[in-house]
Chains A and B, each alone.
Chain A
Amino acid sequence: GESVGLHLPTLSVQEGDNSIINCAYSNSASDYFIWYKQESGKGPQFIIDIRSNMDKRQGQRVTVLLNKTVKHLSLQIAATQPGDSAVYFCAEIPSSGTYKYIFGTGTRLKVLA
């Protein structure tokens, strides 16, 4: 079946630097994408989303980029802080008439002091 995946399982960045977390998706019919943050021992929390008719969306310190040509999604975190340390998941919703989210395996972000 089709799935959402991530290029890097672990990313270490210095505090204050920018972080970029990548995600590849395989279902070209997906029309909605979400990034989640999961801290240790907690459930995933919504960070930002993007529709397939957009290629960029910005939030507070976060930006999501969508490249439909190569089916690639990225999450950029500006001025990474210790509190950003977590596992980040991308998720897609295929436009198949169902509302089932497909999650990637996740990337662990470690912020170094």
Chain B
Amino acid sequence: NAGVTQTPKFRVLKTGQSMTLLCAQDMNHEYMYWYRQDPGMGLRLIHYSVGEGTTAKGEVPDGYNVSRLKKQNFLLGLESAAPSQTSVYFCASSTGTGRNTEAFFGQGTRLTVV
């Protein structure tokens, strides 16, 4: 059981370039999330999805777009990367049913924008 898988694990981008981070989960979870983690700060929610075909903004959505075309995949896009988007990105998923359910995390993607 792979759980939550993120690709790529590392990436260096030049300012203005675009890229897509892929998150895949094999637990049939309804809810998926993208977080960014910066030094000295907690995980901050970028976007999330409550089911296939749905997306919603989180705490820090500017500069990012997402898509959930398939239930198992949640894509995070950067259209024009900026140095402020240098961070570690984590994808997570949860069942979304009931209120007592933990989120399962991927291993993270370390993105550097130069």
Contact = CB atoms under 8 A, between A and B. Distances in A.
Given A43-B107, A43-B108, A31 B42 contact: no
Interface string A89-113: 1010101000111011110000000
Contacts of B45: 100-101
Contacts of B74: none
Given A42-B108, A43-B107, A44-B90, A4 B102 contact: no
Contacts of B48: 99-100
Interface stretch (B12-20, B65-73, B79-87, B93-101): B93-101
B105 A44 contact: yes
A44 B94 CA distance: 14
Counting contact residues on chain A (CB < 8 A from B), the size range is 20 to 34
Interface of A: 3-4, 31-32, 34, 36, 41-46, 49, 51, 89, 91, 93, 95, 99-101, 103-106
Interface of B: 4, 31, 33, 35, 40-43, 45, 48, 50, 58, 90, 92, 94, 96, 99-108
Given A42-B107, A44-B43, A46-B102, 17 more contacts: A4-B42, A41-B108, A42-B108, A43-B90, A43-B108, A46-B103, A46-B104, A49-B100, A89-B43, A91-B103, A99-B50, A99-B94, A99-B96, A99-B99, A101-B45, A101-B103, A103-B43
